Structures are given as structure tokens and as C-alpha cells.
Amino acid sequence: MLFVLSAAVGLLAGLGSCRVVPRQAVTKPVTAHYMIGDIQDAHVRQDILDAKAFGLDGFAMNYDQFAEWSNRTVESLFKHADEIGGFKLFFSFDHAAGHLSGDPLQYADYFKSYSSRPSYFHFKDPAASIGKPLLSTFGGETVPDSQWASFKHTVGDVLLVPGFHEATPSPTFFSNRASLDGVFNWNSWPFPSAGRAPVSTAQDTLFHSATLQTRRIFMMGLSPVQFKHLSASQNWYRRGEDNLEHRIAQILALQPDIVQLQSWNDAGEGHYMGNLWTEALFLKKTRDLTDGYDHRGYWEALTPFIRAWKRGDTQTAGMVPLEGRRVQGVFWHHTLTVDGTCESDDVQTSESVVALAEDAVSGIVLVPQDVTNLVSVVNVGGKELGKTALVPGFNKFKYTGMGTGKVQLEVWEGSTMVAGGYGAIEVVRRAELCNHQFQVVGFAG
């Protein structure tokens, strides 16, 4: 029996001897959005090692400005990816941050300087059946097709798959976007207008249909939550109570071309699932909101998901514990109740938290195919909140009515506890910060 105290599942390093793998198109890739910050060289290398061991094929590098620190981090990423091998990188140029909005020609030369590197991510062009370097964006909906055409003429072979969050999908989406080779639907969370509802695939289905009809690429996002609490103008919440556990099933059913986790290290929006390095957290608010909130516990569900995705599974039923484990999973919850007070914070709780968040414990528990006698129990403050008789494969739960105190999950086989976990931060109704970050606890046994 293994009882896990913290949400961290441990840094996965020491992958043996490194070798350079020849450049080739990746099939059924799973990548993660990686914020380019001022990150130390050793930490960049560790990110690649951990992400590769976790099961990822590469990073989508969110690049939002030409600066010494951003260029240095990009160079570190390529240096280590080239050396380690088997891990790819592609640019996601950020059109929404203000520095790179406008004509994509502004980053054409910079893209070309890296697109021939051994570790640059190549994907098979559905229209030509040959591998080409991939380029994505965050935003850029207003870029006219003529500018994308000029960009492609300048750089040569490239697959343009922008990440749109404000575009309206339709079956004829590409009729006036002929230069695009696909689309990435950034919206991996329920829209606020949907209320307290699970994430929908309405947009994904329309985008996917448009790509299938025109032999283009559809990239689909997988994300747990979006929580931003930095200032009065950057203060919102997009639900995570009915998200990750549903999104996994949606991706397996829809079978997009590429999966992108949102994100590896975006601390400011609360959906980071990888390492956070102190030197990259330049805002004190961000450091305070993430201190003690390690999200790598998600890996206990995501690595089995990646295995299922790579196999071609179209349902979650085949997701089981790895390495002969009896049980494996993760749960998450807020540590400040929705109606909690936080008078000392200079930014108060957003209206979207009040309207959309829930005092709930959500989670995923994976069970081997031949095991039918396990029960999971969630206790809060020493009182039982919910109990589930587990079935073989994938189990998801959400228990509402969470009160204050320590949140703990236990998995029992009769009178024997086979696994469990709890978070170090107890749920409270009063705190210094209006922090509705998720506490994430991975467990296995």
C-alpha cells in the first residue's frame, strides 16, 4: 500500500544515454503549451526530460516577444531537445500579448532559423502526405489570408495551424482561409454562458468537420481549468469542476490529429501541469497564488490517457493503472470555499468564481480490468463526503458540498486500504488571498 502525501509525483530524470533521433513526422502526437519565460538552462533541460518521461512528444513554445531572455530560452530548448532526441518543439507565436500582433512576416526569419533543426516538430501534411514543420499561434484571428499566404511564400514548407479562441467555427471555416493548414481550438473549458455545466465539444466538432472535409489538421486542447487572478482586468474563472475528466473522453471519441495540453507551465492561468521555476515567476502575485500548489499529480491520470490515445482507443474503458499497480488516480479541489472571504487581497474574488465554481472534490480513479472489489471514499474534515464502488478501467467522480478541513481520498479493498492521498493545504472559509487555485493530489498503490 502506497499513501501519497503530496501532489507531486516526482521529477522524472536520468533517462539513460542520450542520442539524436533523425527528424521525422510524429504520429498521434501529444504536446504541451510551454510559456517561454526567463528560465535557467538546467531547468529547461529538466522540463524536457520530465515531459518526455511523462509521455509527451513535444512542446508548443508560446513566444510573445523578441527579447534577450526569450531568445535565450528558445535556444536552450532546441539545444537540449537536439541532444536528448525523441522530443520535438514548435512555435506558437502569441498574437494576443501585444508584442507580435499583426503581420506574421515579423517572425518569418526567426521561424526559419529554427525550422530545420533536428528537434523541430514535423507533421504529415494531410493534403500532400509529406512531413512539414508545424507552426501555431495563440490568437491571430484578424490576420487576413493574404498575409498568411505571404508568410508561407517567404518561409517555404510550413503547416499553419493557428490557435483560435475568438473565431466562430463552421463547416465552411476554411473557405476564406485557404492558406491555413488546420486549426487549434483553444477553448478547452466551458464558456461562462454555459453556467455550471460540463465542457462541450460543440466547437470541436464543427472545427473537426471542417478539417476533415478539406484535408486539414485539427488540434484539440486538454486542460483542467482556467483561473486568473492578477488584477482587476485579469480576474476570471473557467470551470474545472466538470472538465478534465470529461475532456479525456471527448478527445478519445473525436480522434483529432494532435492533442495539446494547456499547459505545461502557465502559472498565471492556473492550468499548469508541469514544473514551475521560481525565476520565471516574475510577478509576486503569481508566486503567491502557486506556492504550495503543485499540479504534477495530474500525471497519474494523463500518462495512462496518453497510452490509450497512442493505442487508438476511442473510449476511456481501456485506461488502467500502469506498472502493475492496483489503483492509480488523481483528485482536485479548491482550498478556499466559493463564499470564502479574503479582505487582505487587493483583487477580490471574481464574479465568475461565484457564478461558476463549486465547493466540490473531483477526480479520476483507474482500476485494472480484472479488479471489481474496490471502493473509493472521499473525506473532508474527518467526515465522509462521497463513496464510489469502482469498476474496472476509468472511474470519474465529483462530490459537491465540500466543507472545511483536510481533504483525503482512500481506496479500500474490504477492510484493507490499498491507496490514498491528501493535500497539505486544508479547505478554509477565510484566507489572505482570494485564491481559487486547485489543489491537485496524485495517488497510486
Q: Are 58 and 88 in contact (CB under 8 A)?
A: yes
Select from 283, 266, 303, 267 the least CA-distant residue to 34: 266
Q: Is the pLDDT of residue 3 over 60?
A: no
Which residues does residue 120 pair with via DSSP β-bridges, in sequence order? 89
Q: Is the dihedral of CA 151, 64, 40, 439 positive or negative?
A: negative
| DSSP string computed for 293-329 | ---GGGHHHHHHHHHHHHHT-SSGGG---STT-S-EE
Q: Tell me the pTM.
A: 0.93
What's the pLDDT score for residue 129?
87
Which pLDDT value is given to residue 6? 37
pLDDT tens digits, 209-224: 999 999 999 999 999 9
Across 82-91, average pLDDT: 99
**How far, in Å, CA of 426 to CA of 408, rounded?**
10
Q: What does the block give as the cell for 393?
A: 478501467
Pick the range with the lowest mean pLDDT from 96-110, 303-317, 329-343. 96-110
CA distance 254 to 223: 16
Q: Given this model, what pLDDT does residue 9 score?
A: 35
Distance CA 376, CA 387 (A): 6
Architecture of domain 328-444: Sandwich (2.60)
The predicted-structure confidence for 143-200, as pLDDT tens digits, reads as follows 999 999 999 999 999 999 999 999 999 999 999 999 999 999 999 999 999 999 999 9
pLDDT computed for residue 21 by the predictor: 39
Give pLDDT, residue 408.
98
Q: Could you give the CA distance from residue 70 to residue 229 in angstroms, rounded to a whole number?
A: 24
Max CA-CA distance within the chain?
68
- 3-state DSSP call for residue 211? helix
| Structural domain boundaries in the chain | 18-291, 328-444
Measured over the CA atoms of residue 357, residue 358, residue 359 and residue 360, the dihedral's sign is: negative
Residue 419 Rama label (left phi>0; alpha psi -120 to 50; beta):
beta
- For 347-382, the pLDDT digits (tens) are 999 999 999 999 999 999 999 999 999 999 999 999
Question: Does the pLDDT value for residue 8 go beyond 70?
Answer: no
User: Contact at 8 Å (CB) between 260 and 221?
Assistant: yes
Model confidence at 245: pLDDT above 70: yes
pLDDT at 24: 61
Determine how many CB atoms are found less than 10 A away from the CB of residue 153. 11
How far is 402 from 293, CA to CA, in rounded Å? 19
C-alpha cell at 25: 513526422
> Which 8-state DSSP code applies to residue 105?
G
For residue 419, the one-letter residue type is A
pLDDT reading at 430 higher than 80:
yes
CATH topology of domain 18-291: TIM Barrel (3.20.20)
The pLDDT value recorded for residue 98 is 86
